[in-house]
Amino acid sequence: MLDIKLLRAQPEVVVEQLKRRNFELDLTEFTKLDAERRAALVEAEQLKNQQNTVSKQIPALKKEGKDVAPIFAEMKELSDKVKVLDDKVRELDEALRQIVLTIPNIPNAEVPDGNDDSDNLEIRKWGEPTKFDFEAKAHWDIGENLDILDFGRAAKITGSRFTVYKGLGAALERAIINYFLTTHTTKSGYTEIFPPYMVHRNSMVGTGQLPKFEEDAFKVANTEYFLIPTAEVPVTNLHKDEILSADQLPIKYCAYSACFRAEAGSAGRDTRGLIRQHQFNKVELVKFANPDTSYDELETLTNDAEKVLQGLGLPYRVVRLCSGDLGFSSAMTYDIEVWMPSYGRYVEISSCSNFEDFQARRAGIKFKRDTNSKAEFVHTLNGSGVAVGRTVAAILENYQQADGSVKIPEALVPFMGTDLIK
RNA sequence: GGAGAUGUACCCAAGUGGUUGAAGGGUCUGCACUCGAAAUGCAGUAGGUCGGCUCAAACCGGCGCCAGAGUUCAAAUCUCUGCAUCUCCGCCA
């Protein structure tokens, strides 16, 4: 959520900044409602002040035996007026909130201008795209040939965009989760969280999935709960409505969770294999940072995510998303893209973002520089560290052998108990 | 799922309709005393949020006793709904 004071004071600046992400912001309705709200609020507050003043005198007047009936009649009128005005303010508040909640974050100045992912800026590359002296297969074929992935039976028991992992396939998924969490907690200083997989509406609003993108989420029938699309939602909301102290920052959490996405609007895209599923596993990194250093924290967070890909020996590159490709809540995002031989290109495996105070304002997450200073919003950051299913896909494809077997990256062998799937 | 109880500030806790601007402790902070600390004394410890006036601060006002709705001239206090916690029962991994 943007600062309402900024929308008031410099609307033209906000409109200009949001054009960079191809978002046309029309503030006429906002400005009108905001002025109405303040007028009604000031009037209501003046009347309430009058109510309070008179109410305080009533016990004394009663004691003196004065007739208070005429005063009560007057106060009744006042009270009715206040009720009308309060209702009006409440309605306007809600209307304004709905407007502000659907305005995306302002891109950071360092974000390159652009329309879509073709305008993203490559920052660095690690490793070289894998070369094969035989005809390389796609991971869905490798997985089915080795009898470790079963898309057909997953479709039978649930539907499309689900996968059954079997045998060493299931073991590989589990080993990767374990390797990621172990690395982040022991090498990079993150505290592990295991969160609920369902959250209420307010949490989804706090991180920015709602109200705008409800169609992307799974809502649990007969409840007001949503299946989490990422551990970002419960983990960021851990500190909702809290005031932290500066010496706690940065707070660094990592969390494994299953993630659930409706994938509305992506019909026909990535229909084969593990790339785009309704349910997938992910280890997420989340930081709560002092605004002064949040961009340094974004760099280290991205590096922490890269670390696990380096450990697995998977070639990747890091791109800075252009303004048009930026997510709703983000001020700046680095995507980490792993080399996927079947696609013949790099494919997103992690998205690391600084949301600045956009989520913190929605969720009420603040900190104090010291005991006497005013509470300020923290900056929140997160990134995948990294997507597990896509890692399985990348390992199957990049480590496949001519005989159809797949070597296990050395770092995973202790977690797998074997160095080969055949 | 059933029955009962509870929800007041950083913590404990008083408060059954009006001068509550929420008692009293604890904690913490400052000051005094002290070489320093402890003890003691004094002071502060309701922050936050939304507004007004402002470059800003100061100042002034609205809200605030889990959340929301209601009754009333007036609600921490009465009523309803929801949420959370605790105890017991049922069920269950």
pLDDT in tens, A164-215: 999 999 999 999 999 999 999 999 999 999 999 999 999 999 999 998 999 9
CA A387 to chain CA centroid, nearest Å: 14
pTM of the model: 0.93
What's the CA gap between A335 and A351, in Å, rounded? 4
Say what the ipTM of the complex is: 0.84
Write the pLDDT tens digit of every residue in A222-264.
Answer: 888 899 999 999 999 998 888 888 888 899 999 999 999 999 8
A200 touches strand B (CB under 7 A): no
Strand B nucleotides, any atom under 7 Å to a protein CB: 18-19, 21, 28-29, 47-52, 61-63, 69, 72-74
Q: What is the CA radius of gyration of chain A?
A: 27
A50 touches strand B (CB under 7 A): no
Residue A399: what pLDDT? Answer: 98
Low-confidence ranges of chain A (pLDDT < 70): 372
Residue A340: what pLDDT? Answer: 97
Residue A69: what pLDDT? Answer: 85
Residue A248: what pLDDT? Answer: 84
Q: Which nucleotide C1' is nearest A59 CA?
A: B18
Q: Which phi and psi angles does A365 have, rounded to 5°?
A: -105, 115
A33 touches strand B (CB under 7 A): no
Question: Is the CB of residue A393 less than 8 Å from the CB of residue A273?
Answer: yes
A269 touches strand B (CB under 7 A): no
As a dihedral over the C-alpha atoms of residue A231, residue A300, residue A352, residue A218, rounded to 10 degrees, the angle is: 0
Length of chain A, please?
Answer: 422
Q: Which nucleotide C1' is nearest A52 CA?
A: B74
What's the CA gap between A25 and A9, in Å, rounded? 15
A1 touches strand B (CB under 7 A): no
**A287 CA vs B67 C1’ separation (Å):** 29
Angle between helices A168-187 and A388-398 (to 10 degrees): 110
Q: Which nucleotide C1' is nearest A76 CA?
A: B73
Q: Tokens 């009308």 — which residue?
A: A84
Question: Is the CB of residue A371 less than 8 Å from the CB of residue A348?
Answer: no
A303 touches strand B (CB under 7 A): no
Q: Are strands A406-407 and A316-320 parallel, antiparallel or unpaired?
A: unpaired
A372 touches strand B (CB under 7 A): no
**A87 CA vs B2 C1’ separation (Å):** 39
What's the CA gap between A68 and A62, in Å, rounded? 7
A76 touches strand B (CB under 7 A): yes
Query: Residue A58: CB partners within 8 Å, gap ≥ 6?
Result: A68, A71
What's the CA gap between A48 and A60, in Å, rounded? 20
Question: Is the CB of residue A192 less than 8 Å from the CB of residue A181?
Answer: yes
Question: Is the CB of residue A331 less than 8 Å from the CB of residue A106?
Answer: yes
